[in-house]
Amino acid sequence: MFAAATGRVLRTPLAPGFSCVGCGARDGRLWTRAEGWSVGRCRNCGLLRTWPVPDTDVLRRAYEAPSYFGARTDGDRDAWAQRAAQILSVLPDASHGVLDFGAGEGHLVRALRGAGVHAHGVEPSPA
């Protein structure tokens, strides 16, 4: 998702209805667009999230796709370390930690921890 990230907050306000799940603020700005998704950033606490939130069917199809888990294995440690470095290079501040929602088998979380970041992962897929 961060391949095309610019690392700067764009000035475009997000559509009405934005509500930060971190602090409840309603002021979000478009942060970046990448790989067909938009990422919004809360102007109060800095939380980044997909916006608008994908509907349940879109998420279900994404998480059930065979490629969701099969792209990389833990053996690709260099690739995961590079991905972690790429993500950290565009985050405004990772000092409070990173939550990887849709963490799969946790490879990115391990790479982030290896980079000294307090990281946790959540995986909603039953696969």
0.75 exceeded by pTM:
no
Nearest CA-CA partner of 40 in 1, 13, 4: 13
Digit-coded pLDDT (tens) for 48-88: 888 888 888 887 787 777 666 555 566 688 888 998 998 88
Residue 118 pLDDT class (50, 70, 90 cuts): very high
Number of C-beta neighbours around residue 90 at 10 A: 18
Provide the token pair at 37.
């998704």
Residue 113 in this model has a pLDDT that exceeds 90: yes
Which sign does the torsion angle of CA 45, 6, 52, 62 carry?
Answer: negative
Nearest-angstrom CA–CA distance, 5 and 14: 17
Contact between 102 and 124 (Cβ < 8 Å): yes
Contact between 93 and 42 (Cβ < 8 Å): no
Contact between 120 and 102 (Cβ < 8 Å): no
As a whole number, mean pLDDT of residues 3-21 equals 64
